[in-house]
Amino acid sequence: MADWVAQVAGAQYNDTIELFTIPCDSGKDNKARFSFQLEGPEGPWIHAEVLDLIVAASDVRTLYTDIGHGWVVFTEELAGNNICLLGVQKPNSYQSFQSIGSSLLRRTYLVFDNVNEEVAMAPVKFPTDSKPPKPNIVYFKKYGSKIPSSALYCEISKPLCEYDGYNFSNTGHKVGIAAGVVGGVLVLAGFAAGIWWHRRKTKKGQETEKWKVGRGPSVVGRES
């Protein structure tokens, strides 16, 4: 699936560093829009443009690729050539995990529930000159309540995840990705592709931390 994203964005695969690369100024002319759907058909859509998926090599944590008996730093390989990294990559020999990086997080509205140790995602509504968004603040009903208008997805045992007010699902965490360019928009939906984090304490005081790693394209973000 990462190959389809790369084709639409105009990226090329670099065999030396085993990553997709793209001209740093590609976002100026390529107006394609990408839509990522989280958690399957009922999940939120996160929209991004080509410009959001262009990451300067200097902004990414230094990675290495084995060339024969030596090591080459990929940031040095790309330095000074107007070449950046694509924000969506496929797994390779030295990258064993995937994450949602700043390329998508800047388009994502996040709610962190410190009491229940959970996080919820929704698309950001950016203001425009013609139609500024109206404030729609929904408050927690009380201290310790679930995140408003949210659904719980979990992969551990049902008793550890289900409690009053939540919808339980054990179908697995997914970041959708599919084929098709409609009206200049690449629609990505239907396949496992990334990481979703879930951590909470049960009523009995047990603490569970769960990371789900998908076997699909990764989304590269800038180093914090």
Rounded to whole angstroms, the Cα distance separating 134 from 156 reads 38
Average pLDDT over residues 132-156: 75
Confidence of residue 95 (pLDDT cuts 50, 70, 90): low
DSSP string covering the chain = -HHHHHHHHT-EEETTTTEEEEETTGGGT---EEEEEBSGGGSPEEEEEGGGGEE-GGGS---EEEETTEEEEHHHHHTTTTEEEESEE--BTTB------HHHHTTEEEEEETTTTEEEEEE-----SS-PPPP-----SSTTPPPTT------S-HHHH--TT-----S---B-----EETTEEEE-SS--SEEEEEEE-TTS-EEEEEEE-SS-EE-----
Each residue of 29-40: pLDDT tens digit? Answer: 888 888 887 766
Average pLDDT over residues 140-164: 68
pLDDT at residue 196, rounded to an integer? 30
For residue 203, CA distances in Å to 91, 144, 155, 197 come to 38, 12, 18, 20
Each residue of 191-214: pLDDT tens digit? Answer: 222 223 333 333 333 333 333 333
Q: Among residues of the chain, what percentage have pLDDT more than 90?
A: 4
Place of tokens 């690729």: 65
Greater pLDDT, 74 or 12: 12
Confidence of residue 11 (pLDDT cuts 50, 70, 90): very high
Residue 185 has pLDDT above 50, yes or no: no
**Domain regions of the chain by residue span:** 2-219
| 142 C-beta neighbours (distance < 10 Å), count | 6
Among 5-9, 37-41, 109-113, 191-195, whose mean pLDDT is lowest? 191-195
Mean pLDDT of the chain: 64
Residue 109 has pLDDT above 90, yes or no: no
Question: Would the pTM of this model clear 0.75, i.e. be above it?
Answer: no
pLDDT at residue 194, rounded to an integer? 29
Residue 50 has pLDDT above 60, yes or no: yes
Greater pLDDT, 193 or 168: 168
Residue 41 has pLDDT above 60, yes or no: yes
Give, in degrees to the nearest 5, the angle at Cα 162 between 189 and 168.
Answer: 25
Rounded to whole angstroms, the Cα distance separating 92 from 215 reads 11
Instruction: Give the range with max mean pLDDT: 60-64, 112-116, 188-192, 219-223.
Output: 112-116
